[in-house]
Each structure stands twice: as structure tokens, then as C-alpha cells.
Copies of this chain bind each other. A is one copy, B any other.
Amino acid sequence: MSDTPSRHVGRTGVWLVGARGSVATTAVVGAAAVSGGFVPPTGMVSQLPEFAHSGLPALDDLVFGGHDVTDTPLSKRAEQLAEAGVFPAALLPLVVDALRAADADIRTGTTGEPGGPTQAETAASLIDDLTSFRQRHRLDQVVVVDVSSTEPLPVLRPAHQQLDTLEEALASGDATLPPSSLYAYAALRARCGYVGFTPSPGVRLPALRELAEAQGLPYAGSDAKTGETLIRTALAPVFAHRALRVRSWSGTNLLGGGDGATLADPAAAASKNASKRSGLDALLGEQVEGLTHIDNVPSMGERKTAWDHVDFQGFLGAPMTLQFTWQGWDSALAAPLVLDLVRFLARARQAGATGPQRQLGFFFKDPIADHIAPDHRLVIQFEELRAWYAGAVR
């Protein structure tokens, strides 16, 4: 990374944990398709006129690599996604070089299965992958983004609380970290910014946040809001600001694809649900009745449908309801945000920012807070992002 700050971030590495998944593949396809001018930048926040004064790394300055534990070629995954309807098959020949290039920079990751190398050994290997990637491509900086499968809620352990305790545990061969946090550890040790795109713990453990500060690195997370929660954080203020009393807020999500299968596991779903629910309670100022279901429906493929039912009272107790149905494509909703987050985080780092990046709360269900509680209102989050950008590119 260059030592002297400049107005523009140069070549930036995007290191995707889960690099052969749907979101990662769509991100690589999309970056190439948009920067090649084959499609408009629909869905990319960082391409809005509000962020056009530059200062962000150019789309064609992004270099993709990552870790994964499968070995399906990206071109094969891209074909599957096109067939599933996520993007037009006609795009494939136009982005084949980009897919091949990213493929060449994907390394075998870790699942944390017992019986293998120690976590310290694994971390060393991951760090090596990251530094080699940066040197090989002469990158200004690298941002690591976790887009792998959601993990169960972690069992918190003392080694998660403090950096020195963590280092001791690792040194002693203890497998203390959940996989997402082991990746985050490696990212920070390799001097990379970090984005937790899923509800997995990742960088959220206090010991890792301490490490980020020590390394002078910015990070952001967690759990990108792409559908039901996105709409919830836009709608909940209606009730709060109009003094309408929400009695129950219930939701059902139907999805197939990898995410559907992962979330069919009750432990992973619990992790997701905690993340989904927290913002809603904060927005409404109280816990309201209602469950949120996440159903795995394999035949839905990459499609994602959410139905929400809000039962509320108005003046003089009048019973009223609001329902919405959201129908989208999971990867098409998530992938552009990966690109946005990398670009904004790279800019933040270049501007000298460290620690949790509050202005990126706009993208997350459960924003990692600094000392002020996050505002979950989507419009306020957007204004915070815009204000930060206006200051950062000044």
C-alpha cells in the first residue's frame, strides 16, 4: 500500500472468502460486465451520482481472488447462475476472461474440520495466500470479504475477548476461533481491510476488533441487508414516526440455492434470525410479537421471496395491517453490495480510517457499532454514507 495519501485509490484486491459461491461469482461477472459497459450499473450504490466525485477505486482496478473449499470453476458456476436466471446467458462470453483471471487467484480455504493443521498453521497459510496475492498483482491494498456460508452462533470463549489471550490460545494449538473469525484474523494479520457480509462472527470478536485497531485497519459488517430486512428498515420508521403501535411483525422467507440449504440448519438460522430481529426491535423501540421463518425450498433456486405481515393499531385503537411481498434474486441483490463495500472501505482506509466504519451501516442488518448505537433507518444510513463521502473526498 502506498504511504502517501492520494485522491484516488489505485489497484485494489478483492479477496472473497467463499470465492466460488453464487454471490462471489456474480460479483466477478458483474464487475466485468459493468466496467466493460455491457450493462448499466443498476444496483450499485457506489455508482450513484452522489458518489461520482471519484475517490473510489475504479471498477476495472479491482482484482479478484479468494479462498474456497470446492473447486468448481467460476465459469461453470456462472453458467449455472445464468441458467437459474440470475443474469442473461448472453453475458457469459463477455466476461469469460475475468472469470478465468479470478479463478487463477482462488486458493483452497479451511473449513475448520478437526484433525488437520492447527489454527495457527492454517492462519499462516491464509496470510501467505493474501500477501502473495497483493505482491503478485502489485495491489495498493486488499479488502477481504466474507461471503461464505453462515455459521452457527459461536460459543463465546475467553480467548475471544482479548488479543493476547487469543494469541496464546493459538500458539498452544487450541482451535478456538470459528472459521469466519480465523479468516478475519488472517486478513488483519495480512494488513487487509475486512468486511463481514454474513451474520457469522468474523471480526466481531473483541480480540479481533482489538487486532484491527492495533493494525490500524478499517472493517465493516455484518450481514448485508438485501431483501426483507432492507424493506423492514425502510418501513419500520413509518410506524415509529407516525406513533402507530405495532402489535406483531411476522415474516416468512422462501429461498433455495446454497443459502436456503445453509439456513435450513436451525443453528445457522438462529444466527441469521438474531441478526434480522435486532434492527426491527431497535426501530420500533420495543420487542413485538411475531416469528421470522426462513424456509429452504430447493426448487426456488436462486429466487428469494419474503412475505411480511405487520399488525398495528392506529388512533383510538383502530386495527390495521400492512403486508408486503418481496421477490428477488439472492445473488443479484448481494453481489453489487460486495463491490460497493470494497470500494467504500478501500477509500476509508486510504483516508486513514481505522476500526468499525459506521458510515457503511447502510449495507447491514446488524451494523458493527462504534460508541454510538447504530441508526437502522435506511434513509438516515444513506445520508450518513453520503455525508462521510462528501467529507472523505473533499
Contact = CB atoms under 8 A, between A and B. Distances in A.
Interface of A: 26, 29-30, 33, 39-45, 47-48, 85-89, 91, 230-231, 234-235, 237-238, 241-245, 247-248, 250, 252, 254, 289-291, 293, 295, 297-300, 303, 305, 307, 309, 311, 313-329, 332-333, 335-336, 362, 377-380, 382-383
A313 B336 CA distance: 13
A310 to B, nearest CB: 10
Contact of A300 (B91, B248, B303, B332): B248
Contacts of A309: 252, 254, 305, 307
A243 B335 CA distance: 13
B299 A295 contact: no
Contacts of A326: 320-322
A237 to B, nearest CB: 5
Contacts of A324: 322-325
Contacts of A230: 238, 242
B329 A248 contact: no
Main secondary structure on chain A at its contact with chain B? mixed
A224 to B, nearest CB: 11
A222 B293 CA distance: 28
Contacts of A316: 26, 29-30, 33, 39, 42-43, 86-88, 91, 332
Number of copies: 4
A250 B29 contact: no
A249 to B, nearest CB: 10
A319 B300 CA distance: 10
Most central of A234, A322, A333 by chain B CB within 10 Å: A234
Contacts of A48: 241, 243
A297 B305 contact: no
Contact of A297 (B33, B248, B322): B248
9 closest A-B pairs by beta carbon, nearest first, are A43-B315, A318-B332, A247-B299, A87-B316, A379-B379, A324-B324, A320-B328, A241-B382, A315-B336
A309 B201 CA distance: 33
Contact of A313 (B26, B42, B243, B378): B42
A284 B378 CA distance: 16
Given A26-B315, A42-B314, A43-B316, 11 more contacts: A33-B316, A40-B245, A234-B237, A241-B378, A250-B254, A250-B297, A293-B293, A300-B311, A305-B321, A323-B325, A380-B383
A297 B290 contact: yes
Contacts of A247: 299-300
B238 A378 contact: yes
Given A241-B382, A254-B250, A290-B297, A328 B318 contact: yes
Nearest to A251: B252
Contact of A30 (B298, B315, B327): B315
Contacts of A377: 379
Contacts of A319: 85, 303
Contacts of A328: 314, 318, 320
A333 B391 CA distance: 41
Given A26-B316, A237-B234, A332-B318, A250 B325 contact: no
Contacts of A254: 248, 250, 290, 309, 311
